[in-house]
Amino acid sequence: MCGIVGIVSTSNVNQTLYDALTVLQHRGQDAAGIVTFQDDRFYLRKDNGLVRDVFRTRHMRRLVGNVGIGHVRYPTAGSASSAEAQPFYVNSPYGITLAHNGNLTNADELSRDLFRTDLRHINTNSDSEVLLNVFAHELQKLGKLNPTKDEIFAAVSAVHERCRGAYAVIAMVTGYGIVGFRDPNGIRPACYGVRETEVGKEYMIASESVALNAAGFKLVRDIAPGEAVYIETDGTLYTQQCAPKPHLIPCIFEHVYFARPDTILDKVSVYKARLRMGETLADKVLRERPEHDIDVVMPIPDTSRTSAMQMAHRLGVKFREGFIKNRYIGRTFIMPGQKMRKKSVRQKLNPIDLEFKGKNVMLVDDSIVRGTTCEEIVQMARDAGARKVYFASAAPPVRYPNVYGIDMPAAGELIAHGRTVEEIQDLIGADWLVYQDLEDLITCVSDVNPEIEAWECSVFDGNYITGDIDATYLANLEDQRSESGKAKKNPEMATDNGIIDLHNDED
């Protein structure tokens, strides 16, 4: 999962891009990058690390220009080296940079075609570089010295024809503007907003509406599946549907975990969805154990707080903050390496003993993926004096890997894969384990938008909506994503020829 942002402004965009990326930091903590444009040149800074660590004052001063894009990244099957930090750049045609959130399910096939047919070299393992070269090649095929909106939209249409999977994209074309688009199923989110100034209108495209709000932009709407939004450098905006048969089937896990609660995704409030998750989870508890002995409900901060609060209210029991979070530790779900994830749990959370002693505690998490952190947290609760430790997941059992840009690992590393709820309960050491039902989760997120035809729920039900995923694909994915598979990979080196790169600047 990644976060993307692009701005066409009437003044320098460096600070606004930086601020937007800090708001989107929850979507990726592995790497960050910004590229701006001025006087026929791109200015790039990207590296591994958090936004606050990648960009220093000396970098910000040199990221000049009124147009720019930014990216925060966490790796899935690709390498975690800085060579795969985004945005990516290609010099032909025009000079194009691109930031991408999602995953192409036919990236290997496209990479081969790009070399054999399009005569383009791919220098990393990143499917984002593949997508960039597909877009660049299709734009170059049109052969126009000065591309208009029609050429831009035609290139996006060709991308939809060639690329499969999930992708939300922002690309910047030298001297012309930025274009944002979503895959024809709208799996990954993207929206755009406007800000009125005395000089004229400014536009921002971003993964989540909260990035717009934080920068003073007013949300216009979500980018529709298959649609492209093109903003010229003078602030002129065009939109066009570029896919023949688009369907809005967004990823449901955005609402469970990834998106910030103050975000609106495809007209659905993430906060309200999580409130409803807590209500339906409480209803399931009351169905299964109407005479429950829960004394207190506690969230495993921060993503589950909204659901836990509403669950406690519905059950009529106390809501307490039993764990204090160290906010200087990253999100354990996206930490590379199982050992690092496990070690970080006790660094990240510290129990308040008086809230646990002698009580039957219901712990609430947004989901259970590998289960290792759950086991640690249950033991922490027992060590703090809890009499009984119950555990509730606001999401259904995660039984299948994700192929659309979330690093849900090999099936064998998912604790729920091939196991019953009772077996999982024993593995994490809980006295009782309660999962959200998938039907209830879908009800929770199916809000005010009748345009949502269905939800992408593959991690729960194994149904991959792009229709191109088979056993062979999943086997190859498991080899790439398993901890052992990742350990075999060596970081790759790459350069960004053709860009003024601030990566190694020490002035």
User: In angstroms, rounded to a whole number, what is the distance separating the alpha carbons of residues 224 and 244?
Assistant: 13
In contact, 202 and 194? CB cutoff 8 Å: yes
Per residue in 50-88, is it b (16+ CB within 10 Å) or e — as a string?
A: bbeebbeeebbebbbbbbbbbbbbbbbbbbbbbbbbbbb
User: In angstroms, rounded to a whole number, what is the distance separating the alpha carbons of residues 197 and 183?
Assistant: 32
3-state SS class at 79: coil
DSSP 430-486: -SEEEE--HHHHHHHH--S-TT----B-HHHH---TTS---HHHHHHHHHHHSHHHH
> Residues annotated as binding site for Mg(2+)?
303, 365-366
Strands 360-365 and 296-299: parallel
Q: What is the DSSP letter of 376?
A: H
Catalytic residue among 2, 191, 251, 374: 2
In contact, 449 and 395? CB cutoff 8 Å: no
Whole-angstrom distance between the N-terminal and C-terminal Cα of the chain?
A: 33
User: In angstroms, rounded to a whole number, what is the distance separating the alpha carbons of residues 77 and 89?
Assistant: 21
Task: Name residues whose C-beta falls within 8 Å of residue 374's C-beta, 6 or more positions apart in sequence.
Answer: 365, 368, 391, 415, 428, 430
Q: Tell me how crowded residue 318 is: count the other CB atoms within 10 A of its CB.
A: 13
Output the CA torsion 284→290→292→295 (10° steps).
Answer: 80
For tokens 């590229």, the residue is: 35
Query: Active-site residue 2, yes or no?
Result: yes
Q: Tell me how crowded residue 429 is: count the other CB atoms within 10 A of its CB.
A: 17
DSSP 393-404: ESS----S---S
Task: Name residues whose C-beta falls within 8 Å of residue 254's C-beta, 6 or more positions apart in sequence.
Answer: 189, 265, 270
DSSP 163-217: --EEEEEEEEETTTEEEEEE-TT--S--EEEEEE-SS-EEEEEESSHHHHHHTTP
Helices (H), 217-298: 253, 270-288
Taking each helix axis from N to C terminus, what angle separates 270-288 and 305-315, rounded to the nearest 10 degrees? 40
Strands 41-48 and 31-38: antiparallel
Tell me the sheet residues that pair with 68.
7, 36
CA distances from 211 to 19, 100, 238 (A): 8, 16, 21
Identify the helix (H) or strand (E) that includes residue 323.
Answer: strand 323-325
Looking at residue 132, its amino acid is: L
Residues designated as active site: 2
